[in-house]
Structure 1
Amino acid sequence: MSTAAPPDGFSTLYRDHHRWLHGWLRRKLNCTEQAADLAQDTFVRLLSRPEPEGLREPRAYLATIAHGLVVNHWRRKALEQAYLEELASRPEVLAPSPEERRLVVEALEEIARLLDGLPARVREIFLLSQLDGLTYAAIGERLGVSINVVQKAMVRATAHCYRALYR
């Protein structure tokens, strides 16, 4: 593992803006610990990118990266909450182990990541088909669209997932 020091520009950016970013995230999340984690994640993301030269608006740059992390955080929380609510509605005998729960949440996060960027209608059609097992005709009837619209949405969603997996 490399122990190379971050570039000087990164160190300056961190020193000058970490406290501000942490405060910005704390106000968005209303949680000091989560804000600290996401502030660190923001700077970790920066380390994997080429050093921005002549960055005129460093706070806007950091806020853009941090905003994406906040969106991912809330998406994960919503997925976990929906999953836990579904588990609570089942008899305890059918409840999965903690390890199985973690695997399911990870799979749900991967599905959400794959579907990120799709229009809401296309994503909904894809999920109705793949998770609920509805036929194209049933999806069309439920959403008030033609089977042709459902087919095109499925092609678009499948191509999108393929690109997300294999690029």
Structure 2
Amino acid sequence: MGRNEIVFHKNYAELILYDKQGNEKARTQVDLEDIEKINMYRWYENCGYAVARIKGKRIKLHRFVLNYKGSLEVDHINNNGLDNRKSNLRIVSHQINMTNQKTRSDNTSGVTGVYWFKTRNRWKAEITVNGKKYQIGYFKTKDQAIEARRKAEAQYHKNTVIRYSQRP
């Protein structure tokens, strides 16, 4: 099977990713400026990411488009591992990448680190920094707990994000 089929849109393109039988499995979004470089390889879907074998090594498309080989992680800002447009990618520490993960299915607030604490009949806010969990406090309203969590994120994580335009 040859290279991926490309569907062009006004501001981006989609690469169609196929399974081994040649059936469409997924589509990945990329910037138009990256098509020529990307189209040199055959990309496939693996665990929610676009991946190719390049010189015998498996490489993920988000690292490939940023040409990033460092030890930090490439985060998909919108949590869609198949949206590989550079405006959706940023180089971050593992700690920041974990704060941007999707909320758990049992989350009651919609915000990581904020949940209903039954025994106190309050909303609880907490944050994990370098593997250590810190309690921010208990609040009467969900909005108060979310605001406290956001302030803690700004305090603890303010200098740990490298945006694509700032990368070394």
TM-score in terms of structure 1 length: 0.28
Higher strand share: 2
Higher helix share: 1
TM-score in terms of structure 2 length: 0.28
Name which one, 1 or 2, has greater alpha-carbon Rg: 1
